[in-house]
A and B are shown apart, each in its own frame.
Chain A
Amino acid sequence: MTNDAVAAQSASPTLDVRGLSVAFRRRNGLVRVVRDVDLTLGPGEVLGLVGESGSGKSILARAVLGTLPRQAEVLGGSIAFSGGDLMRMPPSQVRRLRGDRIAIVPQEPMTSLNPSLRIGRQLTEVLEVHRPEIRSKERSVRAVEMLDLVGVTYADERLAQYPHQLSGGLRQRVAIAMALICGRVELLIADEPTTALDVTIQAQILDLFVRLQKSQRMSVLLITHDLGVIAQTAQRVAVMYAGEIVEVADVNDLFASPRHPYTRGLLDSLPRSGRVARKSHLPSIEGSVPSPSAAVRDGCSFADRCAFRIAICDQQAPPLDSAGLGRSVRCHRWADLTAGFARRDALL
């Protein structure tokens, strides 16, 4: 565990999610998609939230933003953001935080910008709402500065353009500029910010991210299913599976010695130079994430796909155990498995 991360955790957190549960209303009742999630994000910290599609990452992010879809319902929990509880604030107050102190960089730059509004308008309207003291002429100046900062070329000409005239990478830069334009973001939620981009553009956007995060001293909740992105940017990682957090750890610890069998599986399915012998194939996790609408089973939600399943896994849901400094794992067998994994890694 690095000193940075320890410091981040000991200071009063930027974001503190406690016992959050979110469900979707369906015809046949409620379907829980986020289950009893605890998550802490310190000032200036980058927390990676990893999981397969359908694991509830994006819904968690939207719950924090207060923009859950209509059919979603919060069953319980609290979301503390710099002192106040977002769950208990009037919606209008949460709205005033959005785009100002809490911002999001969306997943799909191609569809997240309004096709019928000029880029300039989409940037300045944020200032109009959150910084009414800035006069309208200065707003455009600020928009150009922001575009410059995120590496958009010909920034002043871009203000008059429409999203369809920009490439995907440029649009994502515009989206980042839009998130940061008010200049006082404390919490940035980045929902798969590079997934929809070409590999070369991905790298550029990630670099930009790291640079901006340091210069603006923001906390970042980085949602992704790409462990490579996590390795490059995050300090801590939370792994989500079927709506639950199954493991939280410092990024180096997680990559060095994953404790949960699911995390282990995720890491094993990454190609690594020098690790996999010729002729052997890339391991994968059997099965798929259980559908949230499937009957809630007793016991561990990963049991069906777990190679290390024992009797208790089917009977009792494992708690999120503390597993060392700043680490926690949701697995009945993490202790004995860790020893076993260590032996196996030593043999390879």
Chain B
Amino acid sequence: MNIPSLSIASLKERVESFSLKSLLLPLFGILAFVLLWQVGASRVHTSLGEFPGPSVVYEQWNSLVAEHHNERVKEDKFYERQEKRIEARQAKDPSYEGKLRAYTGKPTFFDQIFTSLYTVLAGFGLASLIAIPLGILIGLNSSVYSALNPIIQVFKPVSPLAWLPLVTMVVSASYVSDDPMFSKSFLTSMFTVTLCCMWPTLINTAVGVAAVEKDLLNVSKVLRLNWMTHVTKIVIPSAIPLMFTGLRLSLGIAWMVLIAAEMLAQNPGLGKFVWDEFQNGSSNSLGRIMVAVLMIGFIGFLLDRAMLTIQRFVSWDKTQVLR
């Protein structure tokens, strides 16, 4: 609206200050960090050699990318060979039905990233499906809150590592199937993530729902809104900011919990990659672990940004500053 009243000069100034703040300063911060890292790393000596600096990490990144490509090429060749063999046999004996065997090569770094990503999203999704409706119920009804609060408070601080053995045993005992849709390791990781990350969403949703302005509740009463309209038109919109605070905290926890669970349980994923490299103990290991550390951080950051984008999309108040 007030753009026409801005002079071109002040507009230019704004654009410039924006790019300075949003690009130049972060870039400066990163550069300073890399420099410190390089200098500091060369002074730390371990039994596996020097602590990996930025240049070593960059080399290892390249080698991980190369390994991934090699593995894909090997996989393609593996299937090609199988198909040829089947075709050859079918030429001799038309009744022969070939069966393609799955490639059993070692999962690469990028395969592990993919595994971790969909595990965390599944675990987080399940947690949200439980926590949001339950949070709304708790926030609306103080009796339900009083009944459930002690349980929530006790389970909230439990570490994923404590849950893991129990979840593993329960999954292996109860999920018995000849042709399983999901692997047991996936289910174990997912349930552990769910159990650990649902609490912030649950609590924040409940608080948001309970904190709906009294005037708006009176409006709802005067209009005699039915329960469903009351919840969808009044309660949920006003609880959305806190709900998203909870969801973002939950997703952050989910990602951290998952890496720990994968390390401990040797379930496929980035955690297992880190643990395998540690056990491997080659001169490249520390560099590769550092690549994984940075990748875990970067993915965590992207997940949070994704949540923020969803919040912007869902939130009614587009002028709200979200960070």
Q: Do A and B bind each other?
A: no
Q: Residues on A close to B: CB < 8 A?
A: none
